[in-house]
């Protein structure tokens, strides 16, 4: 049984089909990236999986439970963690305190939450900024803080919305190296990225390509980026030369 099953899910906003019959599944400890240009429906899919919005058609199952009409709070309790495309830490709190907010999902003990938060910060190589005020962090660390907050909830699955966008290639590579270890922590991941960034796609077991809310390709990263349909849809020959 897959950990997550998205089964013919569609979502319309007025006349706009944001997601159109998306079907894919994620196995335990698997890393999958959704690739698609701005507006392809990636964030909408993440909002559907985490119960912020509900589909017009289709079903979503997580660890054997139907979560199609779930609430965000219940999704988090079941083990679905997420980051937001627009980073929104509590700016006046320290990095450690922000991450503790995630840990409070599974413990009421302040000491336990601090302990768990420190462990996550160590994993993400953020010990040095634990006491810094969140609003003072550079973007690369803010993106990691989003991931740390989500990991502190102890998810089985984490949805990473554009966690590498805005980062330099070196920053993205460093982050990808950390994300690659998520399966060792027992965490599966679904990432969303606008471009086929080699560094990110290289850590994925599979890639799902979306275009205008519909899935146009799925497969191993190496194969997918060479599929004519994918290249034609939006990558373009120039893009391919530059990034692949």
Ligand X SMILES: Nc1ncnc2c1ncn2[C@@H]1O[C@H](COP(=O)(O)OP(=O)(O)O)[C@@H](O)[C@H]1O
Q: Residue 189 contacts by C-beta under 8 Å, 6 or more apart in sequence?
A: 30, 31, 32, 157, 158, 159, 160, 179, 182
Tell me if 10 contacts Mg ion by CB under 5 A.
Answer: no
Tell me if 89 contacts ligand X by CB under 6 A.
Answer: no
Site for ligand X in 6-25 (CB under 6 A): 13, 16, 18
Here the tokens at position 219 are 């497969």
Q: How far, in Å, CA of 228 to CA of 76, rounded?
A: 38
Q: Residue 143 binds which one of ligand X, Mg ion, none, with CB within 5 to 8 A depending on kind?
A: none
Least CB distance from residue 36 to ligand X, whole Å?
5
Least CB distance from residue 70 to ligand X, whole Å?
18
Nearer to ligand X, 27 or 39 (CB): 39
Q: How many CA atoms lie within 13 A of 215 on its CB side?
A: 19
Query: How many other CB atoms are found less than 10 A from the CB of residue 199?
Result: 19
Tell me if 39 contacts ligand X by CB under 6 A.
Answer: yes
Angle between helices 169-179 and 139-151 (to 10 degrees): 10
Least CB distance from residue 224 to ligand X, whole Å?
17
Q: Which stretch binds ligand X (CB under 6 A): 38-46, 127-135, 179-187, 231-239?
A: 38-46
Q: Is 32 helix (H, G, I), strand (E, B) or coil?
A: strand
Tell me if 42 contacts ligand X by CB under 6 A.
Answer: yes
**Element housing 188 (H / E):** strand 188-193
Per CB under 5 A, the list member of 19, 26, 41, 43 interacting with Mg ion is 43
**Site residues (CB under 6 A) for ligand X?**
13, 16, 18, 36, 38-44
């Amino acid at each position: 049984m897959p950990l997550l099953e998205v089964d013919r899910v569609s979502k319309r906003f007025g006349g706009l089909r944001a997601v159109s019959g998306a079907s894919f599944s994620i196995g335990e400890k698997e890393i999958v990236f959704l690739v698609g240009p701005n507006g392809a429906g990636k964030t909408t899919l993440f909002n559907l999986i985490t119960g912020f919005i509900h589909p017009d058609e289709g079903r979503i199952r997580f660890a054997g439970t139907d979560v199609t009409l779930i609430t965000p709070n219940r999704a988090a309790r079941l083990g679905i963690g997420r980051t937001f495309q627009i980073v929104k830490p509590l700016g006046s709190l320290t990095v450690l305190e922000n991450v503790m907010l995630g840990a409070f999902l599974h413990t009421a003990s302040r000491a336990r939450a601090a302990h768990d938060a420190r462990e996550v910060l160590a994993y993400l190589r953020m010990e040095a900024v634990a006491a810094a005020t969140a609003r003072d962090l550079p973007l690369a660390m803010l993106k990691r803080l989003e991931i740390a907050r989500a990991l502190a909830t102890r998810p089985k699955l984490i949805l990473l919305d554009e966690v590498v966008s805005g980062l330099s290639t070196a920053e993205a590579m460093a982050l990808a190296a950390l994300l690659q270890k998520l399966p060792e922590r027992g965490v599966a991941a679904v990432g969303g990225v606008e471009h086929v960034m080699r560094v990110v796609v290289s850590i994925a077991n599979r890639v799902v390509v979306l275009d205008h809310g519909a899935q146009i390709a799925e497969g191993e990263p190496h194969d997918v980026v060479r599929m004519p349909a994918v290249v034609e849809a939006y990558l373009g020959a120039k893009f391919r030369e530059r990034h692949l």
